[in-house]
A and B are shown apart, each in its own frame.
Chain A
Amino acid sequence: MSTPTHEVPRDETVTRSRFSWGWLLIGIAGVILALGALRTVTGADDVASAGTMGAAVRAAMPIALAGLGGLWAERAGVVNIGLEGMMILGTFGAGFAGYQWGPWAALAFAVFMGTVGGLIHAIATVGFGVDHIVSGVAVNIIGLGAAQYLAALTFTGKPGGGPTQSPPVERMPTFDIPGLSWAGRELAQTDLVFLTDAGAVLAGLTTRVSLLTVIGLACIVGTWLLLWHTSFGLRVRACGENPQSAETLGVNVYLYKYSAVLASGAMAGLGGAFLVDDASVYRDGQTGGRGYIGLAAMIFGNWRPGGLVAGAGLFGYTDALRLRRGGESVHALLLLIGVGLIALAVWWLWKRKVAQAGVTAAFGVGLVVLHLATDSVPSDFTGMTPFIATLLVLGLASQRLRMPKADGQRYRRGEAG
């Protein structure tokens, strides 16, 4: 943390972007291969089925969008634990506009409501220098209260609606990606170890895709381009790393921080729109803590878009897995994680880190034994799967995390001296 600041992040960026595409493809192929092998060994068909993949994308999208909101704010140096509240405002916005004027209005109004939440947070933290955590908690409470009040006010007595639920909201259109969806389904029918699973995954990702998913993906790619490949993005990130330096170079730090926190709220609101679209109705408490999980996904992803997508994907996949035939699939997953941990232990042993290797191997062997000794995981435990998986990976990867240097710090113009 206290190393010279300018060299470290730049180097990291360069090395990562050089290798990312190759590693990405190898990583995806590796995951599919592992899941395929798992399916063959355990007979748990759902671990790599098209249905699971489709459900995983739907579960991951709102989390990824909340995480993206966190990314915008924190890259500009503002900690945003108010994402949950902004997301709740987004769900209300989508419900309110959606049942009256259709899905596009729902999208626009959800983004608007989320941005309002972002504005509150921006005024408090950037404008008045309030502690970011305090303001974030306040936004969460305000978001929840405002949404419940407005919902009771606007949905009561409407056909199909009530104080805690909006009338039905029309969904965004869904479509199959031509060619890919068909090819995936055809491949999934074959009986070739790797290709069957690759086909199922492809079919799951390309069949009945919601237009909103495409918009969400565009936001993720757009954020990456904007923050890492434009001078605007460089300035935003400079405000998060060292606002005083940015100021001396003539950057209007307040303006950049405001824009980033507003964008943060907009993304969280979009995540809320996604939830409403998926359920085709607004309900009280619909977000279920996804704003916080999105924040965790962003930290998991080391404050980078690719990483946060991986974190959200992991969470979405395990959540889909346990909600579909949970007992059987999670039971199979135990074997995969156990074997993975044992492999990691071997690698650590090779690196001569005996203590880590010992602990990891013990957990790995324990999981494998648990898998062999039982037939399925009781539903009391399957519900924890996404959280345990995230904790596990976070625990193994957390040594490498680096947050923006001035994240969470109060900034005042003219203090650079």
Chain B
Amino acid sequence: MRRSAKIMIAGMAASLVLAGCGTDDPDGPDTDPGTDPGTSEVKVGLAYDVGGRGDQSFNDAAAAGLDRAIADFGVDSTESSAIDGEPESAREERLIQLADAGFNPVIGVGFAYAGAVAKVAPQFPDTQFGLIDSTDAMGDNIANLVFPEHEGSFLVGAAAALKSETGKIGFIGGVNVPLIAKFEAGYAAGALAVNPDIEIESTYLTQPPDFSGFGDPAKGRTAAEGQFDAGADVVYHAAGGSGLGVFQAADTAGGLAIGVDSDQYHTVPSELQDVILTSMLKQVDVAVYDYIKSFIDGSPLSGEVVFGLEAGGVDYSTSGGLVDDIADQLDEFKRQIIAGEITVPDSM
């Protein structure tokens, strides 16, 4: 690396440290005072699920967390991405390659890596594995970074019921897997908490092992049109890239739609922003960042780590202002869930 670039990165890192109020120990990660303060010995390996960096959704959130870690700690990193329809062995191979090459920690982004992590982690006891969205692989060197998606979905379900004029709302899941059923269960519970008579239409775009339902906007649009035609006026999607079709259908039908994972008000084309009531935020970036930070701090997270409502791991978004008038009610629900007064079911 050239000196000027080094200085620039050091400066960037320093300014981030100064600007960010969370980091109170800027010298922590550096062992050798001779090098610039922005680099670290840590090499992070990140294995994305299908879609990879740039999917404007789940994987991009993980990438954002990694980017923050690179900026703050100067970690070295490599990224690799799953291909649609690849066999299980390809995921194992990917993790083995990363671990073999000395990357530590290795992070599997998405529940699809559970089987691979369960198999590979015992072979590399000195490597730390982070697994997002799954507790199916447990071990001393595995951290299960999970989110109570059902609790976040409860809030947007309540928002949908509060905003619905027809008494009918919709849910579109990308692929019929337990993780997505968790979204549906929370959504339904939230809607029923507001209006016990509400009707909920539910559609899954594909069945496993066909995971194309997370990346086929045409399917999302057809399914959402069906629900709007059937009288629904708010539709929540947990369908990754297919969600764009849901927003288009909402635009045509004059209805509202709810985004997922990131604040989709900021990711959709501007002419579709009007239809986005809110988004169920899932801070995958926070999980990735915190996990890398814990490793650098010398006490890597392990076991099940829940990024919940209280910590802001899941939440609802307010961009666009459509939920401003019901924010009080939603925050009251949020308080009750955190306080344990409401228990949200996590399966249908």
Give the nearest-CB partner of B244 in chain A: A281
Q: Kindly identify, within residues 227 to 284 of chain B, every residue whose CB is under 8 Å from any CB belonging to chain A.
A: 227, 229-230, 241, 244-245, 248, 252, 267, 269
Neighbouring B residues of A54 by C-beta, 8 Å: 225
Q: Kindly identify, within residues 276 to 295 of chain A, every residue whose CB is under 8 Å from any CB belonging to chain B.
A: 278-281, 283-286, 288
Give the nearest-CB partner of A274 in chain B: B218
**A168 touching B241 by the CB < 8 A rule?**
no
A285–B84 alpha-carbon span in the complex (Å): 7
Give the nearest-CB partner of B210 in chain A: A383
Q: Which of A54, A281, A285, A326 has the most CB of B within 10 A?
A: A285
Contact partner, B204, options A161, A281, A379, Cβ 8 Å: A379
Let me know if B205 is at the binding interface, CB within 8 A. yes
Q: Kindly identify, within residues 49 to 93 of chain A, every residue whose CB is under 8 Å from any CB belonging to chain B.
A: 49, 51-52, 54-55, 58-59
Knowing A160-B56, A162-B55, A286-B216, the reply to whether A279 touches B226 (Cβ < 8 A) is no
Let me know if A410 is at the binding interface, CB within 8 A. no
Nearest-Cβ distance from residue B245 to partner chain A, whole angstroms: 6
Nearest-Cβ distance from residue B87 to partner chain A, whole angstroms: 16
Contact partner, A168, options B55, B206, B229, B269, Cβ 8 Å: B269
Binds A, one of B46-54, B67-75, B143-151, B296-304: B46-54
A151–B280 alpha-carbon span in the complex (Å): 29
**B222 touching A59 by the CB < 8 A rule?**
yes
Neighbouring A residues of B227 by C-beta, 8 Å: 324-325
Contact partner, A323, options B53, B210, B226, Cβ 8 Å: B226
A18–B176 alpha-carbon span in the complex (Å): 48
**B217 touching A280 by the CB < 8 A rule?**
yes
Nearest-Cβ distance from residue B239 to partner chain A, whole angstroms: 12
A161–B84 alpha-carbon span in the complex (Å): 19
Let me know if A332 is at the binding interface, CB within 8 A. no
Let me know if B215 is at the binding interface, CB within 8 A. yes
Neighbouring A residues of B244 by C-beta, 8 Å: 279-281
**B225 touching A280 by the CB < 8 A rule?**
no
**A281 touching B217 by the CB < 8 A rule?**
yes
Let me know if A407 is at the binding interface, CB within 8 A. no
**A285 touching B53 by the CB < 8 A rule?**
no
Let me know if B207 is at the binding interface, CB within 8 A. yes
Knowing A288-B212, A323-B205, A325-B203, the reply to whether A164 touches B219 (Cβ < 8 A) is no
**B226 touching A51 by the CB < 8 A rule?**
yes
Neighbouring B residues of A379 by C-beta, 8 Å: 176, 203-204, 207
Let me know if A203 is at the binding interface, CB within 8 A. no
Knowing A279-B244, A285-B215, the reply to whether A46 touches B55 (Cβ < 8 A) is no
State the majority secondary structure of interface residues on B: mixed
State the majority secondary structure of interface residues on A: mixed
Let me know if A163 is at the binding interface, CB within 8 A. yes
Neighbouring A residues of B229 by C-beta, 8 Å: 46, 49, 51, 324
**A288 touching B216 by the CB < 8 A rule?**
yes
Q: Kindly identify, within residues 376 to 401 of chain A, every residue whose CB is under 8 Å from any CB belonging to chain B.
A: 379-380, 383
A187–B244 alpha-carbon span in the complex (Å): 33
Let me know if B223 is at the binding interface, CB within 8 A. yes
A156–B56 alpha-carbon span in the complex (Å): 11
Nearest-Cβ distance from residue B268 to partner chain A, whole angstroms: 8
**A165 touching B54 by the CB < 8 A rule?**
yes
Contact partner, B218, options A52, A160, A275, A324, Cβ 8 Å: A275
Let me know if B182 is at the binding interface, CB within 8 A. no
Neighbouring A residues of B56 by C-beta, 8 Å: 160, 162, 165
Let me know if B221 is at the binding interface, CB within 8 A. yes
Knowing A162-B54, A281-B244, the reply to whether A325 touches B217 (Cβ < 8 A) is no
Contact partner, B222, options A284, A320, A380, Cβ 8 Å: A320
**B218 touching A58 by the CB < 8 A rule?**
yes
- B contact set with A: CB distance below 8 Å: 50-56, 60, 84-85, 176, 201, 203-207, 210, 212, 215-219, 221-223, 225-227, 229-230, 241, 244-245, 248, 252, 267, 269
Show 30 residue pairs from A and B whose CB-CB distance is below 8 angstroms, ordered by the A residue.
A55-B226, A156-B54, A162-B52, A162-B53, A162-B56, A163-B52, A163-B54, A164-B54, A164-B215, A165-B56, A279-B221, A279-B245, A280-B248, A283-B216, A283-B217, A284-B51, A284-B84, A286-B218, A288-B212, A323-B203, A323-B226, A324-B203, A324-B223, A324-B225, A324-B229, A324-B230, A325-B226, A380-B207, A383-B204, A383-B210
- 4 more CB-based (< 8 A) A-B contacts, given A58-B222, A286-B215, A379-B203: A58-B218, A279-B216, A285-B216, A324-B223
